[in-house]
Structure 1
Amino acid sequence: MSTSPQPVSGFRRKFCWSASDEKNEVLAHEWLSLRTLWKATRPSVTDPAVQAAVDDLFPQETWKSGPEEWHKLNAAEQTIGLVLIEPQLTTEFMILMELARSRKLASLAQHETNATLFEATDESDKAMGRKRAAYVALLDDLQRWFINQRFIRRIRGETASRLFIFGLCVMGISILPFVVYFLIFSLPFYGSSIPPNDIAKGHTLFSSSPVFGLGMVSAFGILGAYFSRVMRFQMNIQTFGFEDVVTEYQPRMLYVRLLYGMVGAFVLYFLLRSGIIGGTAFPDLEKISVGEHVVWHANPTGVSAAHDGTMDPSGLTILNPTADLAKLLVWSFLAGFSERLVPDTLDRTEARSKNGDHE
């Protein structure tokens, strides 16, 4: 019975190596076991044509591990199962039954019923026909289960590779607004350059140019949407299957989810700016800025927070977002991460509006 996984990840196939070119000891051993079983059964097969047909099923090279090689092994196992003699048939069936129980096959109850056929050593043609049919049915179910497991492992690997590539792109998009902000900080602002050694000189671009904030807000909305998909993938990895890929992890579905997160953060930004939602947990958009802080030389007593003439600036500066900017980015992330945050907020806003109309 073939049980080895067949790793055919698209990422590995494209960027590393082809798994079908690897030597697979498990596959070779499966062929060896099947050949040994056939050698014990062959003398009982009286038809030379059947003997020759089964002999031709065994390949000269058994190390390759591609889909075609596993298919040939499965076909050979089923063919030989139809000519096994009674002692071998019963032994092989019981071995497969233990495997089926450990894998908890969906059709296990039916195979348990068929197991009663092997309790008697009846070797009549009718009894042997039923036993062989039961054996092949169990073998086929197990083969299908292992094929499905290999397929699931493959799509999990391909989905992880896809999420990795998407993650690199999303991280680049998230960092881009900060790069632009840094470049603006380095250029003259309102006709004058930033004074040298000026500490905490904050540019209030969000309050003076509201549209400027949409870049960071949208980027963090996309980041939140991406994080929600990655987290769901990690949490459901054991049950992840084909339906999950089709409904949530195809490239088009990921694009839609990222766009949904960006629009959600976009809408939340204007809800904040309009004053429809607010409070201490929400940012004050009038105070959103990024300050340039000078790093001062240390003296024996520590680092001073102000230049008192006794210390010189180190020549290093850092950009430090205000608490309100941090709040805005966190809420933008949450708007992208949660699929219900913005819709629920809009529903509550609509409900308040209707209640106000009735009053």
Structure 2
Amino acid sequence: MSFLSLRSLGSRLRGAPPDEKNEVLAHEWLSLETIWKAARATLPDTAQKEIEDLFPKPLVWKSGAEEWHMLNAAEQAVGSVLSEPQLTTEFMVLMELARIRKLANLAAHENNVKLFDPTDESDAAIKRKRAAYIALLDDLQRWFINRRFSRKLRSETASRLFYFGLCVMGISVLPFLLYFLMFSLKFDGTSMVPGDVAKGHKLFSSNPLFGLGMVSAFGILGVYFSRVMRFQMNIQTFGFEDVMTEYQPRMLYVRLLYGMIGAFVFYFLLRSGIIGGSAFPDLANISVGEQIVWQASATDISPSPLHTKVMDPSGLSILGPTVDLAKLLVWSFLAGFSERLVPDTLDRTEARAKNSDHE
């Protein structure tokens, strides 16, 4: 693979456009040059030279902000010298494009269509037509500039969320890695019978730091998922205000911290017994342990839940969470995902406390 191919691949992975020719921009220049050649015959040499200097030599193929700005300036300069038949034709073409793009002030331009209905080549009429044409052209150019800007914002925000996601996933997995490491150090290798769980499972309840670490990590994961989901749902209307209010790095840091604290508080609400029920975890049963995978013996007798001779160890073991640990992590995720779960829970707790005081 050549160096240029590697560079192109790298730019694609970063979300940046590769160094390749843009046929759309080149065609726009070609079309404008064709219109200009038909309009320049009636202009003095000095005016012709001023506009000729706006056309690049050679033809521009690169698609960047500067290149599009050059094209917009040339289009407006050429539009200011078009003849009456050209103004009418080009205005109608732009009007169709404006209707397709649904410009915000389309109604104002629709009112200008009547200027082009009668064939009036007087100086006053041509001035009005040119003014209407330039106004429409300027609005369309502004629409395309805003669209390119929004596309760039979406690309930058997606890249930012991608790298934030990698960090969040690392944070979410870290407590489990530490837990399993500590478990492997504490496990004494004692032979087990069916239904047994290794002694290391008690590490979770005996050392609450692991519980808080997992809860906080899943709270952060819930926050990140809510941001990504909102970005995906609103990607078509995503704009500058969204970036500034929700997706700037500092705003993301604050939201991640908010979710982590929410999961942290929810954990202590569970620990205190203020909230509880079958949907919530029993913290006394939270554990992760190494479990032996047992198999039926060659007698083909159905496996028994009791320790009998019909069960043989398969030679495999797994580390698995209990149902209560799974519930705890799900609620921690929800505490970060939902901006109102913890505040609403605290409000209800406060209301119950006030009612008990009155009683």
TM-score for both structures, normalised by structure 2: 0.91
Q: 1:281 aligns with which of 257, 265, 279?
A: 279
SS in 1 for 2:186: coil
The answer to whether the Cα contact below 8 Å between 1:288 and 1:325 also exists between their aligned partners in 2 is yes
SS in 2 for 1:62: coil
Amino acid aligned to 2:45:
P
The answer to whether the Cα contact below 8 Å between 1:21 and 1:66 also exists between their aligned partners in 2 is no
Give the equivalent residue in structure 1 for 2:242.
244
The answer to whether the Cα contact below 8 Å between 2:301 and 2:310 also exists between their aligned partners in 1 is no
Mapping 1:145-164, distance limit 5 Å:
145-164=143-162
The answer to whether the Cα contact below 8 Å between 1:206 and 1:212 also exists between their aligned partners in 2 is yes
The answer to whether the Cα contact below 8 Å between 1:206 and 1:285 also exists between their aligned partners in 2 is no
- Is the alpha carbon distance of 1:157 and 1:298 closer, same or farther for their aligned partners in structure 2, counting shifts above 3 Å? farther
Give the equivalent residue in structure 2 for 1:51.
48
The whole-number CA distance in structure 1 between the counterparts of 2:297 and 2:269 is 48
Structure 1 residue 208, shift from structure 2 partner: 2.5
Q: CA deviation digits over 1:85-122, x for unaligned, max 9?
A: 00011000000001111111111111111111111111
Give the equivalent residue in structure 1 for 2:334.
334
2:248 is the counterpart of 1:253: no
Structure 1 residue 201, shift from structure 2 partner: 2.5
The whole-number CA distance in structure 2 between the counterparts of 1:144 and 1:58 is 21
Q: CA deviation digits over 1:253-295, x for unaligned, max 9?
A: 1111111110000000000000111111111111111131112
Give the equivalent residue in structure 2 for 1:221.
219
- Is the alpha carbon distance of 1:249 and 1:18 closer, same or farther for their aligned partners in structure 2, counting shifts above 3 Å? closer
Structure 1 residue 209, shift from structure 2 partner: 2.8
2:179 is the counterpart of 1:195: no
Q: CA deviation digits over 1:130-171, x for unaligned, max 9?
A: 110110000000000000001101111111111111111111
The answer to whether the Cα contact below 8 Å between 2:292 and 2:316 also exists between their aligned partners in 1 is yes
The whole-number CA distance in structure 2 between the counterparts of 1:240 and 1:18 is 19
The worse-fitting range, judged by mean Cα deviation, of 203-212 and 102-111 is 203-212
The whole-number CA distance in structure 1 between the counterparts of 2:172 and 2:131 is 60
The whole-number CA distance in structure 2 between the counterparts of 1:57 and 1:303 is 86
The answer to whether the Cα contact below 8 Å between 2:296 and 2:312 also exists between their aligned partners in 1 is no
Structure 1 residue 70, shift from structure 2 partner: 0.6
The answer to whether the Cα contact below 8 Å between 2:15 and 2:159 also exists between their aligned partners in 1 is no
TM-score for both structures, normalised by structure 1: 0.91
- Is the alpha carbon distance of 1:204 and 1:248 closer, same or farther for their aligned partners in structure 2, counting shifts above 3 Å? same
The worse-fitting range, judged by mean Cα deviation, of 110-119 and 266-275 is 110-119
The whole-number CA distance in structure 2 between the counterparts of 1:296 and 1:205 is 24
Identity of aligned residues (%): 72
- Is the alpha carbon distance of 1:184 and 1:303 closer, same or farther for their aligned partners in structure 2, counting shifts above 3 Å? farther
- Is the alpha carbon distance of 1:249 and 1:271 closer, same or farther for their aligned partners in structure 2, counting shifts above 3 Å? same
SS in 2 for 1:19: coil
Give the equivalent residue in structure 1 for 2:270.
272
The worse-fitting range, judged by mean Cα deviation, of 334-343 and 211-220 is 211-220
Structure 1 residue 314, shift from structure 2 partner: 3.4
- The runs of 4+ residues in structure 1 deviating greater than 3 Å are 11-21, 196-199, 296-300, 302-312
The whole-number CA distance in structure 2 between the counterparts of 1:249 and 1:310 is 59
Give the equivalent residue in structure 2 for 1:182.
180
Give the equivalent residue in structure 1 for 2:99.
101
Give the equivalent residue in structure 2 for 1:7.
none
Amino acid aligned to 2:191:
P
Q: 1:170 aligns with which of 158, 168, 171?
A: 168
- Is the alpha carbon distance of 1:329 and 1:166 closer, same or farther for their aligned partners in structure 2, counting shifts above 3 Å? same
Mapping 1:26-175, distance limit 5 Å:
26-45=24-43, 47-59=44-56, 60-175=58-173
The whole-number CA distance in structure 2 between the counterparts of 1:247 and 1:351 is 32
Give the unaligned 5+ runs of structure 1: 1-10
Give the unaligned 5+ runs of structure 2: 1-8
Structure 1 residue 186, shift from structure 2 partner: 0.6
